[in-house]
Amino acid sequence: MVVLDVSNIEEKYQAVNGEITALKEISFRVEKGEFVSIVGPSGCGKSTLLSIIAGLMKPTSGEVFVNGEKIKGISNHIGYMLQKDNLLEWRTIYSNVMLGLEIQNNLTPENIERVIQLLKTYELYEFKDKYPSQLSGGMRQRVALIRTLAINPDILLLDEAFSALDYQTRLTVTNDVYKILKQEQVTTIMVTHDIPEGISMADKVIILSQRPAVIKEILTIDFEDENRTPLNCRKNPKFSKYFDYIWKELSSDG
Protein backbone atom coordinates (compact mmCIF):
# COMPACT_ATOMS: atom_id res chain seq x y z
CA MET A 1 0.00 0.00 0.00
CA VAL A 2 1.38 3.40 -0.99
CA VAL A 3 1.33 5.78 1.99
CA LEU A 4 3.26 8.67 0.52
CA ASP A 5 3.19 9.85 -3.08
CA VAL A 6 5.46 12.78 -3.92
CA SER A 7 4.58 13.94 -7.40
CA ASN A 8 6.76 16.20 -9.50
CA ILE A 9 7.77 18.66 -6.78
CA GLU A 10 9.59 21.84 -7.67
CA GLU A 11 10.61 24.51 -5.17
CA LYS A 12 11.94 27.97 -5.95
CA TYR A 13 13.06 30.42 -3.27
CA GLN A 14 13.00 34.17 -3.85
CA ALA A 15 16.39 35.39 -2.69
CA VAL A 16 17.86 38.92 -2.69
CA ASN A 17 19.97 38.22 -5.75
CA GLY A 18 17.32 36.37 -7.72
CA GLU A 19 15.59 33.06 -7.69
CA ILE A 20 17.06 29.87 -6.22
CA THR A 21 15.69 26.56 -7.45
CA ALA A 22 16.07 24.11 -4.59
CA LEU A 23 14.16 21.10 -5.93
CA LYS A 24 13.26 19.95 -9.42
CA GLU A 25 11.09 17.12 -10.74
CA ILE A 26 11.10 15.19 -7.45
CA SER A 27 8.81 12.16 -7.63
CA PHE A 28 8.79 9.02 -5.51
CA ARG A 29 6.47 6.75 -3.58
CA VAL A 30 6.81 5.12 -0.19
CA GLU A 31 4.99 1.96 0.87
CA LYS A 32 3.51 1.30 4.31
CA GLY A 33 6.23 0.38 6.81
CA GLU A 34 9.10 1.22 4.49
CA PHE A 35 12.20 3.06 5.68
CA VAL A 36 13.61 5.49 3.13
CA SER A 37 16.87 7.40 3.62
CA ILE A 38 17.63 10.57 1.70
CA VAL A 39 21.25 11.56 1.09
CA GLY A 40 22.62 14.46 -0.91
CA PRO A 41 25.22 17.24 -0.91
CA SER A 42 25.01 19.98 1.71
CA GLY A 43 22.46 22.64 0.80
CA CYS A 44 20.89 20.65 -2.05
CA GLY A 45 17.34 20.88 -0.68
CA LYS A 46 16.82 17.89 1.66
CA SER A 47 15.27 19.86 4.53
CA THR A 48 13.16 21.79 2.04
CA LEU A 49 11.78 18.49 0.75
CA LEU A 50 10.88 17.29 4.26
CA SER A 51 9.20 20.64 5.07
CA ILE A 52 7.07 20.26 1.96
CA ILE A 53 6.08 16.69 2.87
CA ALA A 54 5.25 17.86 6.41
CA GLY A 55 2.99 20.52 4.94
CA LEU A 56 5.01 23.31 6.56
CA MET A 57 5.86 24.73 3.11
CA LYS A 58 3.90 24.88 -0.09
CA PRO A 59 5.79 23.64 -3.16
CA THR A 60 6.09 26.04 -6.11
CA SER A 61 4.60 23.24 -8.16
CA GLY A 62 3.77 19.58 -7.75
CA GLU A 63 1.74 17.69 -5.18
CA VAL A 64 2.12 15.45 -2.15
CA PHE A 65 -0.44 12.77 -1.31
CA VAL A 66 -0.69 10.96 2.01
CA ASN A 67 -2.92 7.89 1.89
CA GLY A 68 -4.24 9.15 -1.45
CA GLU A 69 -5.24 12.53 -0.07
CA LYS A 70 -3.56 15.70 -1.25
CA ILE A 71 -1.97 17.51 1.68
CA LYS A 72 -2.94 21.09 2.33
CA GLY A 73 -1.03 22.61 5.21
CA ILE A 74 0.23 20.97 8.39
CA SER A 75 -1.09 17.46 8.73
CA ASN A 76 -1.90 15.41 11.81
CA HIS A 77 -0.79 12.37 9.84
CA ILE A 78 2.84 13.36 9.96
CA GLY A 79 5.40 13.24 12.76
CA TYR A 80 8.51 15.37 12.43
CA MET A 81 11.72 14.97 14.43
CA LEU A 82 14.72 17.23 14.17
CA GLN A 83 18.29 17.25 15.42
CA LYS A 84 17.36 18.94 18.69
CA ASP A 85 15.00 16.79 20.73
CA ASN A 86 13.01 19.89 21.82
CA LEU A 87 11.90 18.25 25.05
CA LEU A 88 10.40 20.76 27.47
CA GLU A 89 12.78 20.90 30.44
CA TRP A 90 10.11 21.97 32.94
CA ARG A 91 7.86 19.02 32.15
CA THR A 92 8.37 15.46 33.31
CA ILE A 93 9.05 12.70 30.79
CA TYR A 94 5.43 11.62 31.14
CA SER A 95 4.00 15.05 30.37
CA ASN A 96 6.50 15.49 27.56
CA VAL A 97 5.39 12.34 25.74
CA MET A 98 1.72 13.30 26.23
CA LEU A 99 2.29 16.78 24.78
CA GLY A 100 1.23 16.03 21.19
CA LEU A 101 -2.01 14.38 22.30
CA GLU A 102 -2.64 17.28 24.66
CA ILE A 103 -2.21 19.84 21.87
CA GLN A 104 -4.54 17.83 19.63
CA ASN A 105 -7.03 17.63 22.49
CA ASN A 106 -6.86 13.90 22.09
CA LEU A 107 -5.99 12.56 25.56
CA THR A 108 -8.44 9.67 25.41
CA PRO A 109 -7.96 6.66 27.75
CA GLU A 110 -6.96 4.48 24.75
CA ASN A 111 -4.38 6.98 23.53
CA ILE A 112 -2.93 7.42 27.01
CA GLU A 113 -2.70 3.64 27.41
CA ARG A 114 -0.94 3.32 24.06
CA VAL A 115 1.72 5.82 25.06
CA ILE A 116 2.20 4.18 28.45
CA GLN A 117 2.71 0.89 26.62
CA LEU A 118 5.32 2.51 24.37
CA LEU A 119 7.14 3.84 27.45
CA LYS A 120 7.06 0.37 29.03
CA THR A 121 8.12 -1.52 25.92
CA TYR A 122 11.04 0.79 25.31
CA GLU A 123 12.23 0.87 28.92
CA LEU A 124 11.39 4.43 29.74
CA TYR A 125 8.41 3.92 32.02
CA GLU A 126 10.44 3.92 35.21
CA PHE A 127 11.77 7.36 34.26
CA LYS A 128 8.33 8.84 33.67
CA ASP A 129 8.48 11.22 36.65
CA LYS A 130 12.01 12.42 35.90
CA TYR A 131 12.87 15.59 33.99
CA PRO A 132 14.70 15.64 30.63
CA SER A 133 17.91 16.98 32.22
CA GLN A 134 18.12 13.79 34.32
CA LEU A 135 18.30 11.57 31.20
CA SER A 136 21.18 10.74 28.86
CA GLY A 137 21.22 12.05 25.28
CA GLY A 138 20.22 8.67 23.90
CA MET A 139 17.30 8.32 26.30
CA ARG A 140 16.11 11.83 25.51
CA GLN A 141 16.09 10.98 21.82
CA ARG A 142 13.97 7.89 22.51
CA VAL A 143 11.57 10.01 24.58
CA ALA A 144 11.33 12.46 21.68
CA LEU A 145 10.57 9.56 19.35
CA ILE A 146 7.82 8.23 21.58
CA ARG A 147 6.34 11.71 21.88
CA THR A 148 6.25 11.84 18.07
CA LEU A 149 4.78 8.32 17.78
CA ALA A 150 2.16 9.13 20.45
CA ILE A 151 0.02 10.94 17.89
CA ASN A 152 0.11 7.78 15.77
CA PRO A 153 1.48 9.42 12.60
CA ASP A 154 1.19 7.66 9.24
CA ILE A 155 4.59 8.98 8.28
CA LEU A 156 7.59 9.85 10.39
CA LEU A 157 10.09 12.41 9.08
CA LEU A 158 13.59 12.51 10.58
CA ASP A 159 15.90 15.40 9.66
CA GLU A 160 19.42 14.68 10.93
CA ALA A 161 17.66 13.49 14.08
CA PHE A 162 20.69 11.70 15.53
CA SER A 163 23.52 14.01 14.54
CA ALA A 164 23.78 15.72 17.94
CA LEU A 165 24.65 12.41 19.63
CA ASP A 166 28.17 11.10 20.12
CA TYR A 167 29.17 8.26 17.82
CA GLN A 168 28.73 5.37 20.25
CA THR A 169 25.33 6.59 21.46
CA ARG A 170 24.27 7.25 17.90
CA LEU A 171 24.90 3.64 16.89
CA THR A 172 22.89 2.30 19.82
CA VAL A 173 20.06 4.80 19.48
CA THR A 174 19.62 4.21 15.76
CA ASN A 175 19.54 0.48 16.46
CA ASP A 176 16.86 0.95 19.16
CA VAL A 177 14.87 3.41 17.05
CA TYR A 178 14.94 1.05 14.06
CA LYS A 179 13.50 -1.76 16.18
CA ILE A 180 10.73 0.50 17.45
CA LEU A 181 9.83 1.73 13.97
CA LYS A 182 9.79 -1.74 12.40
CA GLN A 183 7.77 -3.18 15.27
CA GLU A 184 5.22 -0.37 15.12
CA GLN A 185 5.31 -0.52 11.28
CA VAL A 186 5.96 3.18 10.95
CA THR A 187 6.66 4.53 7.47
CA THR A 188 9.79 6.64 7.81
CA ILE A 189 11.78 9.11 5.74
CA MET A 190 15.14 10.06 7.13
CA VAL A 191 17.53 12.74 5.89
CA THR A 192 21.12 12.09 6.92
CA HIS A 193 24.65 13.25 6.09
CA ASP A 194 25.97 9.96 7.34
CA ILE A 195 25.95 7.51 4.43
CA PRO A 196 26.57 4.39 6.59
CA GLU A 197 23.71 5.42 8.90
CA GLY A 198 21.47 5.94 5.87
CA ILE A 199 22.29 2.48 4.51
CA SER A 200 22.10 0.75 7.88
CA MET A 201 18.44 1.63 8.44
CA ALA A 202 17.00 1.84 4.94
CA ASP A 203 14.96 -0.28 2.59
CA LYS A 204 15.70 2.34 -0.07
CA VAL A 205 18.17 5.19 -0.36
CA ILE A 206 17.23 8.22 -2.44
CA ILE A 207 20.35 9.92 -3.79
CA LEU A 208 19.93 13.60 -4.58
CA SER A 209 22.18 15.70 -6.83
CA GLN A 210 23.70 19.13 -6.18
CA ARG A 211 21.19 21.97 -6.08
CA PRO A 212 18.77 22.17 -7.81
CA ALA A 213 18.26 18.72 -6.40
CA VAL A 214 16.94 16.06 -8.72
CA ILE A 215 16.77 12.36 -7.89
CA LYS A 216 19.91 10.72 -9.23
CA GLU A 217 18.87 7.28 -8.18
CA ILE A 218 16.67 5.31 -5.83
CA LEU A 219 18.77 2.42 -4.58
CA THR A 220 17.12 -0.65 -3.07
CA ILE A 221 18.92 -1.98 -0.01
CA ASP A 222 18.56 -5.67 0.62
CA PHE A 223 20.88 -7.64 2.86
CA GLU A 224 18.86 -10.83 2.37
CA ASP A 225 18.92 -11.28 6.13
CA GLU A 226 15.72 -11.78 8.11
CA ASN A 227 17.44 -10.74 11.32
CA ARG A 228 18.93 -7.62 9.91
CA THR A 229 19.55 -4.76 12.33
CA PRO A 230 21.34 -1.44 11.73
CA LEU A 231 24.29 -2.80 13.71
CA ASN A 232 24.67 -6.26 12.24
CA CYS A 233 24.17 -5.23 8.61
CA ARG A 234 27.30 -3.10 8.86
CA LYS A 235 29.25 -6.37 8.87
CA ASN A 236 27.44 -7.69 5.79
CA PRO A 237 29.73 -7.81 2.71
CA LYS A 238 27.09 -5.91 0.75
CA PHE A 239 27.38 -2.95 3.11
CA SER A 240 30.65 -1.61 1.72
CA LYS A 241 29.41 -2.19 -1.84
CA TYR A 242 26.38 0.02 -1.16
CA PHE A 243 28.64 2.58 0.50
CA ASP A 244 31.08 2.73 -2.42
CA TYR A 245 28.23 3.02 -4.88
CA ILE A 246 26.52 5.91 -3.07
CA TRP A 247 29.84 7.64 -2.42
CA LYS A 248 30.63 7.52 -6.13
CA GLU A 249 27.18 8.82 -7.09
CA LEU A 250 27.49 11.72 -4.64
CA SER A 251 31.00 12.59 -5.79
CA SER A 252 30.21 12.65 -9.51
CA ASP A 253 29.04 15.93 -11.01
CA GLY A 254 25.55 16.53 -12.33
Ligand X SMILES: Nc1ncnc2c1ncn2[C@@H]1O[C@H](COP(=O)(O)OP(=O)(O)OP(=O)(O)O)[C@@H](O)[C@H]1O
Backbone φ and ψ for 25, nearest 5 degrees, come out as: 50, 50
Given a contact cutoff of 8 angstroms between Cβ atoms, the answer to whether 200 and 181 are in contact is no
Query: Nearest-CB residue to Mg ion?
Result: 47
The amino acid at residue 250 is: L
Minimum gap (Å) between residue 44 Cβ and ligand X: 4
Of residues 5, 10, 12, 47, which one binds Mg ion by CB under 5 A?
47
Residue among 48 and 96 whose Cβ is closer to Mg ion: 48
- The residue among 22 and 124 lying less far from Mg ion, judged by its C-beta, is 22
User: With binding defined as CB under 5 A, does residue 163 bind Mg ion?
Assistant: no
When asked if residue 44 is in the footprint of ligand X (CB under 6 A), the reply is yes
Compute the distance between CA of residue 54 and CA of residue 75 in angstroms, rounded to an integer: 7
Nearer to ligand X, 1 or 15 (CB): 15
Q: Does residue 43 bind ligand X (CB under 6 A)? A: yes
From the list 22-30, 46-54, 123-131, 235-243, the region that binds Mg ion by CB under 5 A is 46-54
Residue type, 177: V
Please, which residue, 13 or 90, has the CB nearer to ligand X? 13
Phi-psi region of 64 (alpha: psi -120 to 50; beta: other; left: phi over 0): beta
Q: Cis omega (within 30 of 0) on the bond before 196?
A: no
Residue 48 interface partner, choices Mg ion, ligand X, none, CB cut-off 5-8 Å depending on type: ligand X
When the beta carbons of 95 and 163 are compared against ligand X, the nearer one is: 163
DSSP letter string, 68-104: TEE--SS-TTEEEE-SS----TTS-HHHHHTHHHHHT
What x/- string results for residues 202 through 221 when contact with ligand X is judged by CB under 6 A? ---------x----------
Q: Is residue 171 a contact point for ligand X (CB under 6 A)?
A: no
Q: Least distance (Å) from ligand X to the CB of residue 49?
A: 7
Residues near ligand X (CB under 6 A) are 13, 15, 20, 22, 40, 42-48, 211
